Amino acid sequence: MMKKGSILIKNAAEVVTCSGFHAKQGKEMAELHIVPNGAVVIEEGIIKAVGPTEEVLKQYKEDQYEVIDATDKAVLPGFVDSHTHLVFGGYRAEEFSWRLRGDNYMSIMERGGGILSSVRATKEATKKELLSSAMKRLDSMLSFGVTTVEGKSGYGLDHDTEIKQLEVMQEANKLHPLDVVSTFMGAHAVPKEYKGREDILIDFFLKEVMPEVIERKLAVFCDVFCERNVFSIEESRRLLSKAKEMGFKIKLHADEIVPLGGAELAAELKAVSADHLLQASDTGIKAMAEAGVIATLLPGTAFSLKEDYARARYMIDNNCAVALATDFNPGSCFTESIPLIFALATLYMGITTEEAVTALTINGAAAIDQADSIGSIDIGKKGDVIILEFPSYKYIPYHIGVNTVEKVVKNGILVYNKVKK
């Protein structure tokens, strides 16, 4: 009898395993571990075998599984989008037009736009409205081959709305095939009433919000926008140090707009990841590499803001583990397009196609501290795989900006199929 979550994929032109159980640093990022004419066996949601089709079929009988013939198609691990802000109310299309005429991100924030605009809209939205929009966004992400996504709060900056966002993510995680990993990011911006009183705001989060988040298991990570005119190095250090003591894993929005020293702080605190890093210093990058902090780069944001890209080539050449993510959010990067991220990374950031695949699979998994269970096609990991329309992973950036994902398997269940039967 066929058990739920049991699937056999055979005859793949190549199975790109991205094999590993930890982040790949530096030169390791180019190692994809490809099986030609490959097969993958998943039983009850867990990968049981991977290898040449002929050998796998000697050990596993096709009538025990749902079978997918992947002739002339490439099979890869599901993508991990390790940095998004997927739960929010309202949109900011008008701000996009402001930026097109030359207004910069910080000036928009200073006149009530930016994050604070989304805060107002998210406070006004009901949980039902937020869940409905989140589910639609997750559907779109799934179609691009994303099987696990990180989502941040941060559009509340208070108790009730921050908790509301996290509750929505928790509910979406239960209802949607994608796994949603939640991050508490109350320290995303500073409300006007707390300007010059940022320490009091941090105290509020530490005493009134974060204990409830931990107790109710609403978030795994704590993140902070460590940036000039937002939260300083000292303020970020205090918040994140206390967060670690409370049981959070930690991340940073670091060195996005000015070289503040966020990368160095991430290394000091041994954060799981430091994200953005457009202005990260040589010293900070090398410190992150030594400390094993994942450098999560968000090329869609630099593209949208017309800023210089993070120095991905320098980071990889200096032994960093680089991940790529969309930074999907309503303001600075309103896109969930994985093909766009591949195109920008390979064409403009000096990342090879192989490194980009690693950055969106095993290193994306490491950026949410799950490289032991997702991010590669290895025995014992979750059965999260994607099947492309083409015979090689090299078609992903080559077919510029176009989705090449044909099928998505999540926990051994076919949950997306572009081909209409």
User: Over 90: is that where the pLDDT of 104 sits?
Assistant: no
Known binding residue 176? Answer is no
How high is the pLDDT of residue 101? Answer: 86
Q: What is the pLDDT of residues 378-421, one digit of tens each?
A: 999 999 999 999 999 999 999 999 999 999 999 999 999 998 76
How high is the pLDDT of residue 3? Answer: 74
Write down the CATH superfamily of domain 7-77+375-417: Urease, subunit C, domain 1 (2.30.40.10)
With bands split at pLDDT 50, 70 and 90, how would you rate the model's confidence at 108? confident
Those residues with Cβ within 8 angstroms of residue 53's Cβ, 6 or more apart along the chain or in another chain: 10, 11, 12, 37, 38, 39
Show the 3-state SS of 114-157.
Answer: CHHHHHHHHHHCCHHHHHHHHHHHHHHHHHCCEEEEEEECCCCC
How high is the pLDDT of residue 110? Answer: 72
Domains 7-77+375-417 and 80-366 share a fold: no
Rg (CA), the chain: 21
Domain regions of the chain by residue span? 7-77+375-417, 80-366
Known binding residue 329? Answer is yes
**Whole-number percent of the chain with pLDDT over 90:** 91
Segment 208-217 mean pLDDT: 98
Known binding residue 331? Answer is yes
Known binding residue 253? Answer is yes
**Whole-number percent of the chain with pLDDT over 70:** 99
Please tell me the CATH code under which domain 80-366 is placed. Answer: 3.20.20.140
Q: What is the pLDDT of residues 362-377, one digit of tens each?
A: 999 999 999 999 999 9
Known binding residue 327? Answer is yes
Known binding residue 155? Answer is yes
Known binding residue 83? Answer is yes
Greater pLDDT, 99 or 137: 137
Q: What is the pLDDT of residues 34-60, one digit of tens each?
A: 999 999 999 999 999 999 999 999 999
Q: What is the pLDDT of residues 3-44, one digit of tens each?
A: 788 999 999 999 999 999 999 999 999 999 999 999 999 999
Known binding residue 332? Answer is yes
Q: What is the pLDDT of residues 238-266, one digit of tens each?
A: 999 999 999 999 999 999 999 999 999 99
Q: Compute the mean pLDDT over every residue in the chain, rounded to the nearest whole number.
A: 96
Those residues with Cβ within 8 angstroms of residue 366's Cβ, 6 or more apart along the chain or in another chain: 22, 23, 272, 294, 321, 323, 375
pTM of the complete model: 0.97
